[in-house]
Amino acid sequence: MTPIPSPADKFSFGLWTVGYNGTDPFGGPTRPALDVVHVVERLAELGAWGLTFHDDDLFPFGSSEQERRGQVDRLQRALAETGLVVPMVTTNLFSAPVFKDGGFTSNDRSVRRFALRKVIRQIDLAAELGAETLVMWGGREGAEYDHGKDIRAALARYREAVNLLAQYVVDQRYALRFAIEPKPNEPRGDILLPTVGHALAFIDTLERPELFGVNPEFGHEQMTGLNFVAAIQQALEAGKLFHIDLNGQRGIKYDQDLVFGHADLYQAFALVDLLEFGGPDGGRAYTGPRHFDYKPSRTEDETGVWDSARANMQNYLLLRERAAAFRADPEVQEAMAQAKVDELRVPTLNPGEGYADLLADETAWERFDAGAHFGARGYGFVRLQQLATLHLLGAR
Amino acid sequence: MTPIPSPADKFSFGLWTVGYNGTDPFGGPTRPALDVVHVVERLAELGAWGLTFHDDDLFPFGSSEQERRGQVDRLQRALAETGLVVPMVTTNLFSAPVFKDGGFTSNDRSVRRFALRKVIRQIDLAAELGAETLVMWGGREGAEYDHGKDIRAALARYREAVNLLAQYVVDQRYALRFAIEPKPNEPRGDILLPTVGHALAFIDTLERPELFGVNPEFGHEQMTGLNFVAAIQQALEAGKLFHIDLNGQRGIKYDQDLVFGHADLYQAFALVDLLEFGGPDGGRAYTGPRHFDYKPSRTEDETGVWDSARANMQNYLLLRERAAAFRADPEVQEAMAQAKVDELRVPTLNPGEGYADLLADETAWERFDAGAHFGARGYGFVRLQQLATLHLLGAR
Amino acid sequence: MTPIPSPADKFSFGLWTVGYNGTDPFGGPTRPALDVVHVVERLAELGAWGLTFHDDDLFPFGSSEQERRGQVDRLQRALAETGLVVPMVTTNLFSAPVFKDGGFTSNDRSVRRFALRKVIRQIDLAAELGAETLVMWGGREGAEYDHGKDIRAALARYREAVNLLAQYVVDQRYALRFAIEPKPNEPRGDILLPTVGHALAFIDTLERPELFGVNPEFGHEQMTGLNFVAAIQQALEAGKLFHIDLNGQRGIKYDQDLVFGHADLYQAFALVDLLEFGGPDGGRAYTGPRHFDYKPSRTEDETGVWDSARANMQNYLLLRERAAAFRADPEVQEAMAQAKVDELRVPTLNPGEGYADLLADETAWERFDAGAHFGARGYGFVRLQQLATLHLLGAR
Amino acid sequence: MTPIPSPADKFSFGLWTVGYNGTDPFGGPTRPALDVVHVVERLAELGAWGLTFHDDDLFPFGSSEQERRGQVDRLQRALAETGLVVPMVTTNLFSAPVFKDGGFTSNDRSVRRFALRKVIRQIDLAAELGAETLVMWGGREGAEYDHGKDIRAALARYREAVNLLAQYVVDQRYALRFAIEPKPNEPRGDILLPTVGHALAFIDTLERPELFGVNPEFGHEQMTGLNFVAAIQQALEAGKLFHIDLNGQRGIKYDQDLVFGHADLYQAFALVDLLEFGGPDGGRAYTGPRHFDYKPSRTEDETGVWDSARANMQNYLLLRERAAAFRADPEVQEAMAQAKVDELRVPTLNPGEGYADLLADETAWERFDAGAHFGARGYGFVRLQQLATLHLLGAR
């Protein structure tokens, strides 16, 4: 009855997600780390399609080149045996003490240079593994206080860094694009490029904006109380949804990284509806990886880890079914019409109309009956929301 | 397929809810006020059981005694004709300019005396109409700044006020109890007794605490990011859940008063499960009114008003069905056992055991294997949450 | 001892700010409206420089052309007599029932056309009065639910609207620029272009981006928990800070519109420091109006209105003094140096350096001592923050 | 010019505060742990009065009795040499894997018994060291999901646990009281007894409520957006402020533990004013330890640790000076009178007056002029707040 995931669904997981050992600010590990080969095998069994990782997930910070190569080779053999792919990699510029004030925007210039080298090394690995996307989450790029960080300078340094990386990728003829992942805070008090909007605006200032998009994370946007699905739509409209991180967050608090679908179900429903059926002719609006960036709760042992991995995919697929039924329901279509949802897609101006024509149109102003909207012409938004509720609950 | 409400479900609505005319901080009414008789008739048709109101909802602030009586009589006739009851009334101590700094805790003593008189008048009406509960929402009891309001004095004045009212009710032999409704902010910057916890603590300081309980509102508690269902459980454990306000709120922001079930579905699901099946032997944990304190969106005309009223009840009943199926599912029961949910109901101490026995029990400390909890003894909370998800989505 | 405002400080106030009558979601007016001529006279006496207004502030929605002209003429005479200017005007597309689903992005196309006409009329008035900026706050452009509003279509319609208005302004040769004012929510559940970031990204998609900037409001950004001063720096770096709204907000809750300086003093201090001394050579980083968009508390009578207006300006000027002293303090300069604040302004790459050079620099990677950052090389950010605290408190 | 702390100020620090090594959810330590003897010596030099600690801070979880005794002895020698005292200790029931679902309220009964033993052991140590207060922060007592934790049962187990501990303390004739420390979330999704209000209400249900009070933490209450100073006043009014944790938090987000005074200055100012001058005759309202529970930022080395420790005390003392001047200012006193702050301390009823007298008083209702509050009788709260601002900024 519940749908079964398959690689065609393009579900991917971070190595650091199922591999999370339970450490949090008030306690150490509650379970051992998982070996990457084991992770690849189990994910493949569960129907996942891809694995992603930070450099430091696979080989510890400061590994020798031999250690690094050994781990990469082990990963590649596991990929070959299971068919799993590595669609995305990312660089850890936040865990080691050297990055305590950030990587690309550390006040210490030598740290910034070191960070660039670390990312270039990871770009080479991305290319080697056939990854299409390099995600950049700048978790330490930020500040706790106002006067210790010149934000304009930080933006300039961030720009300098990613322009250099883009040049490198172009020159190496790597088929790699960059996806910036916004987050408002934690671990810094305030993080640079805190929302999808700020990241989109920043991208427009780059030398090669076409190589840069966003990797919005469900929970990160909700940590500000913003509407995640609205942010995704602005990213889609700008052609900038390069990757997406799915998980769950219960409101404005610390970063929870719950299973996708275990928190705000309405946003999850609207998101899946958008990604799967919001494209041209009701097709996919986004065809890239459905990437889960979550943490199995600290209370769980390894059984719970895999239960939680499965739950992410199951919820996505269930919501896809609910969304399909919602869209096919004639009463929904009728309510959509009453709410004039389609009418917003019609340009406000007639074809070829300019302001002069509009100023000459008395129906737009002189003879417009603004008062007719009092006590009438309701949009029926509540009815439409109730139909969505019934579909979400499987009650239609 | 969707369940139909009936008076046995004990659904009640505030007159100010369906009667809300759309006014908000940035705009005036978008629809006319509804007459009380019309409201009573329509609610009865929809299957509701009760109507509630503030004095000023039924007869405007400053009405003559004749106007007041006229409106009360009209209401009583409508109740008699429809069978609707008035299980609760409340007093408006927040709209008129005289209450700009509060009612019971206005810095102006004459205002406090006026407020007491207004409430006593409404208590008499409550008794006349057979209401069992007087709700007290102190929306203006609070402050924007720190130095203009002595909070300890405000608590003392609030206590003085409600002690007087309790004495009045006892002496009049009214079968009326008081329910304090907490809210953290809006319209004041900070409101006195901001959460269920603060109100429970305050009640313990009253002369007749047995007459006082809480009226928690779903959205109010969520305006602080607190877990509403946990608050309800603390109120139930204290025997203080006298009334409840159901609605919807999308996170920490202005007071939204959405339809119940149109926002946080997990909290709504857990709440209905608790109220309906959380009592002894799986019966009701709370038998009072299921009161909707919501606002039909400003975008709606009267059709939308009644659609939204119906949606509140429909969602409650659907969630009741889901909760019943969840509890009856053997796999859920098995997961509950793994998670040791029942084991928390077993006292930590053996019958008759004191600290001396515990100190003598080497299995509790000297021979206790704390290390066995690393990498094992997972609670399976994520699996249980996934089963809840599947039931909520109607997928089992 | 406390500084006195003068027109050179460029302080401006919205007519709707000092004119606010105390209405909020739970109560009607607590004081009468103020006549515009009286407002102009009093503001001039207090040392303000400018007055701003929405069309509906000056002449009620639906006024005849004669009524409108009468009010405009009264305003102009008062301006002439006092020397006050009108540096900005804005259009009310949110109060009347016709705008219940928005103006530029209402699902109802005829409403969108009406909205455009209303703004064009106000643009003409802006030009007549010599205003340099037209602010656009789209408070009703948004939704409460996910399925009733196609956000991509809404963005397209918003773009269509403002492109038309820009063409009009260009053709009329008006010296007018547009400033978009973001807000996350209230009165809609979620508002389009919710933060400075989202607005900046949107502007980049317009036909004439050079005519568009942002009008960030202190409290609006804080309603999401985001850092306002960081947002202002991103806007400044993009050359898009066209106007600014100053007020106060105590955290994530309803829109409070407190006096500037009556809430988050650190953010206020950092903001004034940035605006006044964050430009080239320590000069102003922003030379436009210092506009107060606040509300005198509902508890106040007219005396409180003017006390609050004065407090806004007084706090700005005091913080300017504190910031000047902070910057001039040698210990602050020394702490800045330790924190390497200036070093972030130095490009990460050497002049002419590309990635090949960086890859060849062994000090950047092979010989870089990452471990040296453990237990050493602290940034001293806390010390710097303490120096800021001492200056803010007037204790140095 | 800036005040110097001395033991008479009763400043105490947690060993885990200055000893924090920089670990957070996204990175490991950035500096080495500090030895307890070194901490005691440095704190004494800085003018602190007390040191507090969790058992696991001083001797690692699982230490042998010999290791434990060795560390206790080292601590005692350092205390003797410096004069520092240990006014409070607390028990770590949250870091070790065994506590992954809590201590007193773990679903696993054997864990609950182990937790009780661990606390009893720490109570004995508290008594040995002369501590007056045992703080209980139940950081892991909570849940991420709704169905895995029976909150009513959790409250019952928490009560069972602390009743047992109270009996133990009474029987041992220890001069020790308990202080419950609320927190809304982190590390659990929702924590039991999330606010001061919930804790106060819980205390009223205990067998020996007189032995229990609260230990409110500045930042914890602000993580819900609640007003900390209002909560302290409710605790004081109930006689339950047994201990207090001072620090800083910038709004609703992860637990920041900034230096006291480095975040919300208005709340800090109002708090110090209350604690120091809010008691009878303007004396101290609270005479216990001024305990700092903060974390030196991860960006700092040991120099920054001690700078931050000093800053906490310096800010407290500065705010005490500002508060004294505020209270002594005749204009403040005049504004307080206009705002009728004192009038709230006057009972609403006349001496001996009951409801019958009130009902007979026509000035309270029949002849009360509610309309006189429109446009007049402003409270001047904004003026009072501005006077507070000027004093806080050192500008009067």
pLDDT tens-place string over residues B159-208 = 999 999 999 999 999 999 999 999 999 999 999 999 999 999 999 999 99
For chain D, what percent of residues have pLDDT higher than 90? 99
Choose the closest CB to D189 out of A139, A185, A256: A256
pLDDT of residue D2: 82
What CA–CA distance (Å, rounded) separates A322 from A272? Answer: 9
* pLDDT grade for A179, boundaries at 50, 70 and 90: very high
- Please indicate whether, in this complex, the C-beta atoms of C266 and D261 are within 8 angstroms of each other: no
Q: Name which of A95, A189, A250 is nearest D189 (Cβ-Cβ).
A: A250
**The pLDDT value given to residue B22:** 98
Residues 6+ apart with CB under 8 A from B142: B102, B149, B185, B188, B189, B190, B191, B192
DSSP state of C290: E
Question: Mean of the pLDDT values across residues C230-256?
Answer: 98
Q: For the residues B239-243, what does the mean pLDDT come to? A: 98
A2: pLDDT confidence band, cut at 50, 70 and 90?
A: confident
What's the rounded Cα separation, in Å, for the pair B103 and B141? 7
Q: What is the mean pLDDT of residues C330-345?
A: 98
Q: What are phi and psi of A330, to 5 degrees?
A: -60, -35
How confident is the prediction for chain C on average, in pLDDT? 98
- pLDDT value of position D1: 65
**pLDDT at residue A98, as a whole number:** 98
pLDDT band for A387, please (50, 70, 90 cuts). Answer: very high
Percent of chain C at pLDDT above 90? 99
Q: What pLDDT score was predicted for residue C328?
A: 98
Cβ–Cβ of C201/A238 closer than 8 Å? yes
Burial of A127: CB neighbours in 10 Å, binned 0-12, 13-18, 19+: middle
User: Which positions in chain A touch C221 (Cβ < 8 Å)?
Assistant: none
C54 part of the active site: yes
pLDDT at A321 over 70: yes
| Nearest-Cα residue of chain D relative to residue A298 | D100
Nearest CB neighbour to D28, from listed A95, A254, A262: A95
Which among D68, D116, D234 is the top mutation candidate for probing chain B, defined by the most B β-carbons within 10 Å of its own β-carbon?
Answer: D234
pLDDT bucket at A40, cuts 50 / 70 / 90: very high
Q: Average pLDDT of B140-156?
A: 98
Are β-strands A190-191 and A142-143 bridged in parallel, bridged antiparallel, or unpaired?
antiparallel
Dihedral angle sign, alpha carbons of residues D181, D185, D188, D191? positive
C-alpha to C-alpha distance for B7 and D379, rounded to whole angstroms: 47
pLDDT band for A1, please (50, 70, 90 cuts). low
Report the residue of D163, D195, D344 to disrupt the B interface, i.e. the one with the largest count of B CBs within 10 Å. Answer: D344
- Contact residues, chain C, for B293 at CB < 8 Å: none
Residue B356's pLDDT is 98
Q: Where are the strands (E) in B141-257, listed by range?
A: 142-143, 177-181, 190-191, 212-214, 245-246
* Minimum CA–CA partner of B262 in chain C: C145
Chains that touch B (3 or more CB pairs under 8 A): A, C, D
Q: Read off the tokens for A285.
A: 């609006």
* pLDDT of B1 higher than 90: no
Segment D109-161, tens digit of pLDDT: 999 999 999 999 999 999 999 999 999 999 999 999 999 999 999 999 999 99
Which pLDDT score is estimated for C2?
A: 82
Whether the per-residue pLDDT at B318 is higher than 70: the answer is: yes
Average pLDDT score over residue span C65-72: 98
Best CA proximity match to D8, nearest among D287, D381, D197, D278: D287
Give B-chain residues touching D236 at CB under 8 angstroms: 152
For residue A162, give every residue at least 6 positions away whose Cβ sits within 8 Å of its Cβ, in sequence order, or none.
A104, A136, A178, A206, A212
| Known catalytic residue at D291 | no
Contacts with D299 from chain A: Cβ below 8 Å: 100-101, 144
Cβ–Cβ pairs < 8 A, chains A and B: 167
Q: Which residues of A does the annotation mark as catalytic?
A: 54, 57
Helix, strand, coil % in chain A, rounded to nearest 5: 50, 10, 40
Q: CA of B308, closest CA in chain A: separation in Å?
A: 6
Would you say the C-alpha torsion C305, C309, C310, C311 has a positive or negative sign? Answer: positive
Residue spans of alpha helices (H) in chain A: 15-18, 36-46, 55-58, 65-82, 109-129, 151-171, 196-203, 218-222, 228-237, 265-277, 302-328, 330-338, 355-360, 381-392
Alpha-carbon distance B115 to B120, whole Å? 9
Q: Which amino acid is at D15?
A: L
Residue found under tokens 């800053």: D311
Question: Which of C1, A311, B8, A104 has the alpha carbon at shortest distance from D391?
Answer: C1
Verify whether the Cβ–Cβ distance C109 to A355 is below 8 Å: no
Angle between helices B302-328 and B330-338 (to 10 degrees): 70
Q: Is 90 exceeded by the pLDDT of residue A109?
A: yes
Specify whether the backbone of C22 is left (phi greater than 0), alpha (psi in -120 to 50) or beta: left
Residue B2 has what pLDDT?
A: 82
CB A307 to CB B252 under 8 A?
no
Distance, CA of A212 to CA of A202 (rounded, Å)? 10
- Mean pLDDT rounded to a whole number for chain A: 98
Helix (H) or strand (E) holding A54: strand A50-54
- Which chains lie within 8 Å of chain D at 3 or more CB pairs, if any? A, B, C
Q: Would you say residue B240 has pLDDT above 80? A: yes
Strand, coil or helix: what is D13? strand
* pTM of the entire predicted model: 0.98
Of chain B, the percentage scoring pLDDT greater than 90 comes to 99
Contact between chains at B186 and C30 (C-beta distance less than 8 A): no
**Does the distance separating the beta carbons of C22 and B100 come in below 8 Å?**
yes
pLDDT confidence of residue C240: 98
Q: Quick one: angle between helices C151-171 and C109-129, nearest 10?
A: 30
Phi and psi for D199 in degrees, rounded to 5? Answer: -70, -45
**Predicted confidence band of residue C1 (pLDDT cuts 50, 70, 90):** low
pLDDT exceeds cutoff 70 at C391: yes
Are the beta carbons of D100 and A299 separated by less than 8 Å? yes
Contact A250 D24 (CB under 8 A): no
Does residue C189 carry a pLDDT above 80?
yes
- Is it the case that residue D77 has pLDDT exceeding 70? yes
Substitution target from C30, C54, C144, C224 for chain B, most B beta carbons within 10 A: C144
pLDDT the model gives residue B201: 98
Rounded CA gap, A214 and A192, in Å?
Answer: 14
The mean pLDDT value for A23-43 works out to 97
D chain contacts of residue C267, beta-carbon cutoff 8 Å:
none
Interface partners of chain C (CB pairs < 8 Å, 3 or more) are: A, B, D
Question: What does the pLDDT look like over A153-165, one tens digit per residue?
Answer: 999 999 999 999 9
**What residues of chain C lie within 8 A of the CB of B97, using their CB?**
22, 27-31
